[in-house]
Structure 1
Amino acid sequence: MAAERARRVHLVVAAVAWFAVLFQLLLVLTGEAILVEEDPPGLATRIYRFFAYFTIQSNLLVAVTSTALARDPALDSRGWRVARLAGLVGISVTGVVHFFLLRPLLDLDGADLVADKLLHMAVPVLAVAAWAWVGPRPRVTTRDAAYALVWPVLWTAWTLVMGQVDGWVPYPFLNAAEQGWGAVGVACAGITLLFVALFALFGWLDRRLRPAPEAR
């Protein structure tokens, strides 16, 4: 019964995450101007920028890992542990950073607003709540957390380098041309500390909460 309940919970998270990502992709493909005031760029550039957002990557990680868990709620392997932990922490950072740094800058309505709330609020809340309720746990080790941290570090490095190449960054607090490198450095340091704190928190909770799903 516990495994079946876990399967249903993960299926709901996967369905919402996939819908949110695909819905936002549809809006991008049809030329909606997301987080920009000017007309949207060409199709190839729009697609690249869509996948360049940390928000999209974290939602995709949640969608993929939740889909796998919907098939096998007790799934376990080193690579999967890293992907799952990266997804949980990444989607948590997505929610926190959006709420405190990006939400005040946005003026969205209609379909754009729906997609924004799904990606930045619904999926983060559902993903963390599902983990807290049905696991799987225990799964987190210090080594897994170290591997999972590689993704956001590489994403940040790539984003800053590409920002110097073509002048575009997905988030305004990473725009060195407008904010200055000092402000960007402070933002990166603060978000890095948030990542480390969340990895530590998930690891601590992983050891303290009851194992899940319960044995069949």
Structure 2
Amino acid sequence: MNKNTALAPRLLLLLIALIAWFAIISQFSISVPLLLAKGMTYGEAVWRMFGYLTILTNVLVAVACTVLLLKPESLPGQYFSRPGVQTAVTLYILFVGLGYNLLLRNHAPFTGLHRLSDEGLHTVVPLLYVLYWSLFVNKQGLQAKDSLLWLIYPLAYFVMAMLRGSSSGFYPYPFLNVTNLGYARVMGNAAMLLVGFFVIALGMVAVARFKRSELATD
């Protein structure tokens, strides 16, 4: 790999990290004061922010990109360099982007900095990270069975969201709101989303296999 080729993925990682951190910090700077104005403590407001899959996943992407840029040889760097881990992170942020743009985009028409942050979290970062994965991530060894392991993250999030909602009454997304929809419908929504998540995961494995076969024939 020549210097120009080696520089391209680092520049893309840097761009993703900068946009992700900017969007996360902007979102906190906007949302936390609004929650404080409603009578929440600072800790409660921050805890509420981390109730959103969008925030959790963008933090994961931002941390992964930062580690790969600054400490690629460290243990965390080696972990985030694994094909399965990088593909899982890509899958999670892709799911965030698709979920928002297909299901939630019209629920909150933001403006100004809030709009920039919202687009960064839900559109720009997902697109750029998928591009990074497609062009630069080693996909050697990915198998269909890995898709089952990748389901742990959304399942853990769903359990956390249900537990938090049952104790506080706060559900981060309308399709998870047990108070309005009831448990049966929420479980049905979750099952459909999980199936969609699994199908996307299998599709990514298929893409990885196609790219490997493409390289083998070059």
**Which of the five TM-score ranges fits, normalised by the shorter chain?**
0.7 to 0.9
Equivalent in the alignment of 2:142: 140
Pairing partner for 2:107 from 105, 108, 129? 105
TM-score (normalised: structure 2): 0.83
Bigger fraction of residues in helix: 2
Q: How many residue pairs align between the two structures?
A: 205
Pairing partner for 1:19 from 8, 18, 22? 22
- Does structure 2 conserve the Cα–Cα contact (< 8 Å) formed by 1:62 and 1:84? no
Secondary structure, counterpart of 1:32 in structure 2 = helix
Is residue 2:129 matched to residue 1:130?
Answer: no
- Does structure 1 conserve the Cα–Cα contact (< 8 Å) formed by 2:86 and 2:137? no
Moved more, 122-131 or 103-112: 103-112
Equivalent in the alignment of 2:216: none
Quick one: distance in 2 between partners of 1:207 and 1:123?
24
Is residue 2:7 matched to residue 1:4?
Answer: yes
Q: Which runs of 5+ in 1 are unaligned?
A: 212-216
Give the superposition deviation at 1:41. Answer: 3.1
- Does structure 2 conserve the Cα–Cα contact (< 8 Å) formed by 1:62 and 1:91? yes
Quick one: distance in 2 between partners of 1:189 and 1:82?
24
Quick one: distance in 2 between partners of 1:84 and 1:25?
26
Secondary structure, counterpart of 2:50 in structure 1 = helix
- Does structure 2 conserve the Cα–Cα contact (< 8 Å) formed by 1:28 and 1:47? no
Equivalent in the alignment of 2:51: 52
Superposed CA deviations along residues 25-66 of structure 1, whole A, max 9, x for unmatched, are: 22233x136xxxx94733211100111210011111211222
Aligned pairs (5 A) from 1:172-187 = 172-187=174-189
Quick one: distance in 1 between partners of 2:81 and 2:162?
27
Give the superposition deviation at 1:81. Answer: 4.5
Change (3 A) 1:146 1:40: farther
CA RMSD, 1 decimal? 2.5
Q: Which runs of 5+ in 2 are unaligned?
A: 214-218
Moved more, 104-113 or 79-88: 79-88
Moved more, 117-126 or 12-21: 12-21
Change (3 A) 1:40 1:138: farther
Quick one: distance in 2 between partners of 1:58 and 1:208?
27
- Does structure 1 conserve the Cα–Cα contact (< 8 Å) formed by 2:54 and 2:96? yes
Secondary structure, counterpart of 1:7 in structure 2 = helix
Give the superposition deviation at 1:107. Answer: 2.7
Aligned pairs (5 A) from 1:157-172 = 157-172=159-174
- Does structure 1 conserve the Cα–Cα contact (< 8 Å) formed by 2:86 and 2:133? no
Higher relative contact order, chain-length normalized (CA < 8 Å, sep 6+): 1
